[in-house]
């Protein structure tokens, strides 16, 4: 049995105001190669992405923008 090393990154996303916003971000970011989980905390705007490979921050930013929101610096 092998144990995979998972990578976790957290981003702050602005503009989300409802459950539909959360779903949109989860769907777009979840489509990135290697992503195994996307957890969104609506009140704080924190988006935690778990993946089996290191993710390119620009790819995550582009996915969030595709959903209609922005990643803050």
Which pLDDT tens digit goes with each residue over 15-73?
999 999 999 999 999 999 999 999 999 999 999 999 999 999 999 999 999 999 999 97
Structural domain count, the chain = 1
Q: Is residue 13 part of a domain?
A: yes
pLDDT score at 4: 64
57: containing domain = 7-71
pTM: 0.89
For residue 34, is it within any domain?
yes
Contact 66, 30 (CB under 8 A): no
Give domain status of residue 64, yes or no.
yes
Does 1 or 4 have the greater pLDDT score? 4
Task: Kindly give, in sequence order, each residue whose CB lies less than 8 Å from that of residue 26, ignoring residues fewer than 6 positions away.
Answer: 38, 40
62 inside domain: yes
């Amino acid at each position: 049995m092998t144990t995979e090393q998972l990578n976790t990154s957290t981003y702050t996303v602005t503009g989300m105001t409802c459950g539909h916003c959360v779903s949109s971000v989860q769907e777009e970011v979840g489509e990135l190669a290697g992503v195994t989980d996307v957890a969104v905390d609506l009140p704080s705007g924190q988006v935690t992405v778990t993946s089996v490979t290191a993710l390119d921050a620009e790819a995550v930013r582009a996915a969030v923008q595709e959903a209609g929101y922005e990643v803050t610096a």
